Amino acid sequence: MSSPSQRPRRRPVPRLGVRLSDDGIDVAVFASHATGVDLCLIDGSETSSDPTTWTERRVPLDGPELGVWWAHVPGVRVGQRYGFRVHGPWEPASGQRHNPAKLLVDPYARGLVGELGYGPETYGHVVDDDLAGDPAGPADPRDSRGSVPLGVVVDTRYAARRPPRPHVPWSQTVIYEAHVRGLTIGFPGVPADLRGTYAGLAHPATIAHLQSLGVTTLELLPIQASASEPHLVQKGLTNYWGYNTLGFFAPHAAYATAAAREAGAGAVLAEVKGMVDRLHEAGIEVVLDVVYNHTAEGPVEGQHLSWRGLDNPAYYLHDGWYPATLADVTGCGNSLDFRRPQVVRTALDSLRYWTEAVGVDGFRFDLAVTLARGADGFDPGHPFLMTLQTAPSMHGIKLIAEPWDVGPGGWQTGRFPPPLAEWNDRFRNAVRSFWLADPAQAAHGLPGHGVRELATRLAGSADLFGYSEPPGIRGPMASVNYVTSHDGFTMADLVAYDHKHNHANGEANRDGSNDNRSWNHGLEGPVRVDSLGAEILPLRRRSIRNLMSTLLLSAGTPMLTAGDELGRTQGGNNNAYCHDSPVSWVEWDLTEWRGNLLATTRHLLALRRDHAALQGTRFFVGRPWAEGTRRDLSWFAADGTALDHGRWHDPQVRTMQMLRSAPAHPGRPVSPDAGESAVLVVVNGSLDEAEVVLADDRPTTWELVWDSTWEHPAERDAVASANGGVLAENGSAVTVEPLSVRVYVAQES
């Protein structure tokens, strides 16, 4: 291979990574502290898994210029496997950890093949067979080739005509958080060879389930290439969730079908693109959970795989002391330093690639506070956030922040700028407390909370998201409401366990949150219908329906966790990140009560979809939205009178009515003549039944459309045929069961 002096000199390729050209490839990599970088072309690995049979051609790169090394390499085509070797000082005390014995993964690789090994050769410093060693000690001379994944040259062009993006408005958005493998691995409606894959996710049976629910937006746990931590591998476990990134551009090959993996990295990418296309054809958006806050290399004593060997001082957040020590604000051993332009550039390049080349519709940023940390901590005006607001490639893309990390000042819910939405942990806590923790306390004669906090969450959390410039511009849809997520108890486990049961994680039950706000209703764990304690099962099921209805009927953007609509359980494990097993997979075996819950979830989402009053895009102001209409939001006590200051703050008041009103046809000119949508939600959070006087400020006929005491929505038919039926006049008294929710819709006059 020609030396740098023999090749025509070219300007550095402005875009990093390896890209096809007419006669070969252009390659560029950032390594600002290096003295030399070799592109290593690996041959023979396609036909043999034995690294000793591979050949390695090393191409010294030109540079550096502004920290970038580059070359044009003719004759290299699609499918070529490669890595980098980086030369430079080994000075751990100053943070420089160059070790050319280690074959490094290209952070910009569009495809990766091969498994990560966990032997001593994957460490930059010398470790023993137990992987113990001094990270400030000498460099390890063993070659890591054969123990690290290889980059693959991939043609990222997509010749087929692609369907348009759905562009679902935030007011109509219903998010469904799912794991590619876990959603369909046990789904009998999907062919066996497609289960647990990208293709299985896009199978008509999977899409039909999502459509039947009313899901508009599928939020996928990380699908960027990831790896398991060494301590999990030693325990025989795996990082199932995938929050341990090894490549920001390559899809995780393990989620592709066996046929695609056999065909190569290009076929894996094509399967991902095909998944996105099939979902778009069904009107469903695809949002990716992305992890730009840390990498799979772990703490300073961790593996030497990519960024650490390329440019450790430029990529990772350090504490500023000498010897150099990593600053960990993610709890994962390392944190990427978003004060550094190259880190910001990498994240933005990755986002553009996934939107433009793959076609995804948005991103949920894991531990997003880390991505906006400047010299003085979290900065709402951080360059990364400013670019998200202004870059043309981000226009119309859904952006969602997980608004915290574990560093100083790490909780920042409500402080991210538009157009970002945010996970609302205050919603989660308030709903769990009201329906579970408080009744558990009350059952023992202990005080709980009143209705004030729950009402604030039902109304869209203006206390968190209303403070902006101009005020209120973000609207309630900026609040991504959730009761459960991948992290924590499932909804079924919230009503069956008072305590976490994480012993299978191998950490003596120390991991996972202790603030679960759950309630086992008197017995810990599963209860059989024919066993002692079976009398609590109806109340457990009602509690699930209370949680589900509060989630789906609140102002804001609802996020449903995959399997909650089917009563999925993790056996009390609230940190199942390390289990690629039935513990974490969606259970599709529909017993009677699970089928009823599925029907209930569909019914509640249909109510939200069919009634404009449940789709508010603006914060409520408590005034009529047009002359002669109801106020957009009103609160009433059980006796039908307006909630006054004393009752708002009384922890003994556990019953209230929420009346929401909106134009029946959003988007049309605001006029009372165009029709009005009005919904009355009655909440009884006490342990006793309550007599409730249905409230309104005008004569109204209310139709009962749902009651959380119903095991199945079809029970409405029995109520309709019974004495009294489902219609009630404004001002009439109705009896509301303990711990239940009722939904009434105003009949059109």
Question: Among all residues, which ones are annotated catalytic?
Answer: 366, 402
The position carrying tokens 């939600």 is 681
Report the distance separating Cα 71 and Cα 1, nearest Å. Answer: 12
Reduced to 3 states (helix: H, G, I; strand: E, B; else coil), residue 580 is coil
CA-derived radius of gyration, the chain: 28
DSSP 676-735: EEEEEEEEE-SSS-EEEE---SS--EEEEEEETT-SSTTHHHHHHHSTTTTEEETT-EEE
Whether cis (ω within 30° of 0) applies to the bond prior to 323 is yes
Task: Tell me the C-alpha distance between 707 and 741, whole Å.
Answer: 6
Q: Is the CB of residue 549 less than 8 Å from the CB of residue 558? A: no
Count of CA atoms in the C-beta half-sphere (13 A) of 580: 16
CB 105 within 8 A of CB 306: yes
Q: How many whole angstroms separate alpha carbon 419 and alpha carbon 632?
A: 24
Backbone angles phi, psi at 62, to 5 degrees: -75, 160
Cα distance between residue 339 and residue 317, in whole Å: 9
| Residue matched to tokens 């901590």 | 377
Is residue 104 within 8 A of residue 306, CB to CB? The reply is yes
Please answer whether residues 680 and 746 qualify as being in contact, where contact means their C-beta atoms are separated by less than 8 angstroms: yes
Q: Hunting for tokens 């191409």 — which residue is that?
A: 59
Whether the Cβ atoms of residue 727 and residue 703 lie closer than 8 Å to each other: yes
What is the SS3 assignment for 612?
Answer: helix
- Residue 239 has φ and ψ, to the nearest 5°, of -85, 85
Nearest to 74 by CA among 54, 56, 59, 55: 59
d(CA 723, CA 627) in angstroms, rounded, equals 37
Per residue in 96-114, is it b (16+ CB within 10 Å) or e — as a string?
A: bbbbbbbbbbbbbbbbbbb
User: How many Cα atoms are found within 13 Å in the side-chain-facing hemisphere of 603?
Assistant: 21
**C-alpha 631 chain-centroid distance:** 35
Q: Which of 25, 86, 57 is nearest to 307 (CA)?
A: 86
The secondary structure of residue 739, as a DSSP letter, is: S
Write the secondary structure of 504-523 as one string of H (helix), E (strand) and C (coil). HHCCCCCCCCCCCCCCCCCC
